[in-house]
Amino acid sequence: QVQLVESGGGLVQAGGSLRLSCAASGRTFNIYTMGWFRQAPGKERESVATITWSGGGTSYADFVKGRFAISRENAKNTVYLQMSSLKPDDTAVYYCAAREYGKLTYAYWGQGTQVTVSS
């Protein structure tokens, strides 16, 4: 099993920045991709950014390109999401998730951390 714990959420004003962390523990050796997702009230969950654990390749949703950056520290089994130029529409619960080698879906999820951007 893999356990994921997010932290770093909070309340910020528009234009501000925030850094989220995701600490992974347990059977992490089969993780291929880590991702950040978010879900606002009444909306579908959407992908924000992904990173491959070994190679470090990244991908981003169009609405965060140039503002968010995903990174990882393999030795600490930790993934980060640096968020800048935050907008009120970024307000959501942000989730960290892990996908294993050979799997098509993200099977492991954290409990989420709230990000609120005031306007």
Query: Model confidence over 26-49: pLDDT tens digits?
Result: 999 999 999 999 999 999 999 999
How far apart (Å, rounded) are the C-alpha atoms in residues 85 and 92? Answer: 15
Q: Would you place residue 65 in the very low, low, confident or very high pLDDT band (cuts 50, 70, 90)?
A: confident
Map residue 99 onto helix, strand or coil.
strand
Half-sphere exposure of 56 (CA within 13 A, CB side): 5
User: Please, which pLDDT band fits residue 15 given cuts at 50, 70 and 90?
Assistant: very high
The answer to whether the CB of 98 falls within 8 A of the CB of 107 is yes
For 62, the 3-state DSSP assignment is: helix
